[in-house]
Amino acid sequence: MSQPNQNSPFCKIFPTLLSALFLFTILASSPKTLFAQDAETSVIDSTLENLVPIPARPANVKAKDHVYDIGEKVDVSWELSPDDTTGLRNVVGYIISRRLDTASDFDSVGAVFSRIASLTDIGLTKGESYQYAVTAYTSAGAVSETSVSNSVTTEQEWFDGDKFWQVLLLVIIAGSVAYFIYHAKKGKPMFLRKIAGLQAVEEAIGRATEMGRPILFIPGIHDMDDVQTIAGMTILAKVAKQVAEYESRIFVPTRASLAMTAARETVREAYMTAGRIDAYRSDDIYYVTDEQFGYVAAVNGIMTRDKPATCFYLGAFFAESLILAETGNSIGAIQIAGTAMPAQLPFFVAACDYTLIGEELFAASAYLSEDPKQMGSLKGQDVGKVVAMAAILIGAVLATLGSEEGMNIETFNSAFHAFWGVFGGGE
C-alpha cells in the first residue's frame, strides 16, 4: 500500500480542522465554563465577607522601653478596635507580634483578651531595636488588618523597679534595727517578748543547788564556726554567772577543742563577774573527742554517774539529740534544749521540759546578753516579722476576694502580686 504524501495541502490542514472541531464541542456543551470564572470568584469572596465580617483594626500602637529594668522589657499599648466586644464583628482578643528593625517578618510573642490594650514583652536583648504589630481577631476566626508600632530600643536603667518591695522591706527593717539600737544604748527600757525556756533557767539552777547536784551544759556538737554554737556560748555566760552566784557546779564537755577554749573563757569571765573566781574549775570544761557517737557515749556516762539535776542542750545537734534527751529524762533532770536544726526539734520537744525552737535560740542569746546591739537587732527583726505577716494576710485577702465572681480580678491580682513581691523577688 502506498503512503500518503505528507506535503499535500490536505495533510497540512487536517490537524487544524480537528482541533477547532474539539474546541467547538466543549463550548457547545458548557458555554459558561471558561468565561464565568472571574464572576463566580467575586461572588464567593463577597459571600464569605458577609458571613465572616472583618473587624476594624486597633489604632495608635505604641512601643516604649520599660522603665526601671535591665533592658529586657518593652511595653506595648494600643487603642481598642471599635468592634471590641460590640457589633457583629465582636473582637475577642488581640495578637501581638514582634520583629527586629533589621528583619522583615513578624513573629507572634503573645495574645491578650478583649478590653485589654497593653502587653509587656520580656526576655529581650539590651540595646536592640524592635517593632511591634497588633492584630484583632474574632470568635469566628476573622482577622483585622495589622497596625504597626514605632521602633523602640531597649536600655538598661540604674534601678530595677521589680525590686522596689524588697528595698522597702530592707529600709523598714534596717531603720528599725538602727532606731532600737540607738534607744538601747541610751538606756531606755525596751520590751522584748518573753521566752518560756529562759524564764525557767533560774528555777532549774536553783533546783540543782538545792539538790546538791551539778549542772550539765552541752553547747552543741559543732565548732565555733557555727552560729548556733556561738548562740549557745552566749547563753552559757548567763547560766555560768547564775551558777557562780548560787555556788553550784557546772560541767561543759565539748566535742571541739576550740569550743572548749571558748567555753573556758566564757565560764571564767562569768565567775569573775559574779565575784567568785575562786570557785572556778577549769577541769570541769573539757574536750572529749571529735567522734560524734564517741562524744555522745561519754556524755551519757557523765549523766549516769554524776546525775546532774539540770541539763542544757543549746546548739547544733543531729542524731544524738534523742539519745541525750532520753538519758537526761531517765535520771529525772530538768532539761532545757534549743536548736535551729528542724529535724531534731521533735525529739527535744518530746523529751525535754522546755525547747527553744529555731530562732528562739538566737533571740535567747540576745535576750540574756543584754547587749544593746543584739537587743536592738532582735527588736528590729520583730518589726520585720510584723510587716511580713501583714503582707501575707493582706495578700491572702486580696487573692480570695479576686477569686469571687463579679470582682475585678485583674485589679486584685495586681495588688496581690505587689504585696507578694516582698517575698518573691519580682515576677
Mean pLDDT (whole number) for 134-157: 90
The predicted structure's pLDDT at residue 417? 56
More confident residue, 426 or 216: 216
pLDDT tens column, 152-206: 999 888 877 777 778 888 888 888 888 888 888 887 777 777 777 788 888 899 9
Cα dihedral 14→17→23→27 (10° resolution): -150
Q: Using the structure block, give the residue that is written with the C-alpha cell 504524501.
A: 5
User: How many CB atoms are closer than 10 A to CB 301?
Assistant: 13
Mean pLDDT (whole number) for 34-40: 45
The predicted structure's pLDDT at residue 88? 58
pLDDT at 47 over 90: no
pLDDT at 357 over 50: yes
pLDDT tens column, 50-89: 556 888 899 999 999 988 888 899 999 999 998 887 655 6
The predicted structure's pLDDT at residue 150? 93
Beta strands in 2-146 (DSSP E): 59-65, 73-79, 91-100, 107-113, 118-122, 129-138
Task: Name the band, by pLDDT with cuts 50, 70 and 90, for residue 43.
Answer: very low
pLDDT at 208 over 60: yes
What is the distance between the terminal CA atoms of the chain, rounded to a whole angstrom? Answer: 97
pLDDT at 132 over 70: yes
**Cα-flanking dihedrals φ and ψ of residue 123, to 5°?**
75, 25
The predicted structure's pLDDT at residue 341? 92
The predicted structure's pLDDT at residue 399? 79
Beta strands in 239-315 (DSSP E): 250-254, 285-287, 310-314
pLDDT tens column, 245-267: 999 999 999 999 999 999 999 99
Report the mean per-residue pLDDT for the chain.
82
pLDDT at 12 over 90: no
C-alpha cell of residue 233: 556560748
pLDDT at 278 over 50: yes
pLDDT at 93 over 50: yes
The predicted structure's pLDDT at residue 39? 46
Q: Using the structure block, give the residue that is written with the C-alpha cell 554554737.
A: 229
* Domains of the chain from N-terminus onward: 59-153 (2.60.40.10), 201-352 (3.40.50)
Using a pLDDT cut of 90, give the percent of the chain over it: 50
Mean pLDDT (whole number) for 275-299: 94
